[in-house]
Structure 1
Amino acid sequence: MSEIERFASGGPWEERYGYSRVVRAGDLVITAGCTATVDGAVTGIGDPRAQTLTAIGIALDALAGAGAGLADVIRTRMYIVDAAHADAVAGAHGSVFGEVRPVATLVVVAGLLDPAHLVEIEVEAYIGGRPRTVLV
């Protein structure tokens, strides 16, 4: 049986809503949904590309804390609130993950928790038995 580790980011909703920013289960490392919320404020208001890049950065930082990196990413899921944002969001995704080419899903949803959020992203990585490196 694999060891399961949970990592928090210190965000305001994790304890309140009972979830972890990242869970590492053996060689699989999975993020919760990440948005463009930095220090409690939504950044990139009205700009789906900027929000996507911020959300991806938050997800990658969270993965790094659990021992995974960009090259380990195997799946992404992108939730957007407006189909017109698809090219901006997918283009931002491609600018980060173009060499890695994880499987990806892009879904239009009715809305996200904060109406200022235009995109939410989940990322999964597989570290293939490498030793864990945790930055303190």
Structure 2
Amino acid sequence: MTGSDNSAGSGSSDGIERYASGGRWEDAFGYSRAVAVGDYVHVSGCTAIVEGNLAHEGDPHHQALAAFRIALDALEHFGLGAADVVRTRMYITHSRDSDDVGRAHGELFGEVRPAATMVVVAGLIDSRMLVEVEVDAYRGRAS
């Protein structure tokens, strides 16, 4: 959501496909938004940064929804969606936000029921960020 569809390294000879969403930290920190290897696609940590700005400041539920939608957008690049998600991780900065973030997870993945982890962390890269999420998906078409 935060940039162009830049597929640096996509279709490389080592069988690893990389997807860059254009987020400001991807180039600065040297990582890909998502990496596909074999049957799996791993999406890096996503927060509620939309078009370079934090969306839904102070609202953990909507920050979680925005972060998961960014992750799902990355999966779309590989032809996958929420139904293909097999594992999620949620990092929250306050335990009081667990119900709100869990509710967002349920709204998006309640029918899918991936393996999930939620942990409380000391903080995220921007103190206004209340949640960061990671997603792993199974594409099952790779051989």
Report the TM-score when normalising by structure 1.
0.93
- 1:22 corresponds to which residue? 34
Match of 1:43 among 39, 42, 55: 55
Structure with higher RCO (Cα < 8 A, 6+ apart): 1
RMSD of aligned C-alpha atoms?
Answer: 1.5
> Is 1:124 aligned to residue 141 of structure 2?
no
Structure 2 unmatched ranges of 5 or more: 1-12
Distance in structure 1 (CA, Å) of the matches to 2:122 and 2:66: 21
> Is 1:89 aligned to residue 101 of structure 2?
yes
Tell me the secondary structure at the aligned position of residue 114 of structure 1: coil
The question of whether the paired residues in 2 share the 8 Å contact of 1:22 and 1:63 is answered with: yes
Runs of 4+ in 1 over 4 A off after TM superposition: none
Offset, 1:130: 6.0
Tell me the secondary structure at the aligned position of residue 98 of structure 2: helix
Distance in structure 2 (CA, Å) of the matches to 1:95 and 1:119: 16
Structure 1 unmatched ranges of 5 or more: 132-136
Tell me the secondary structure at the aligned position of residue 125 of structure 1: strand
Match of 2:24 among 3, 12, 33: 12
Tell me the secondary structure at the aligned position of residue 97 of structure 2: helix
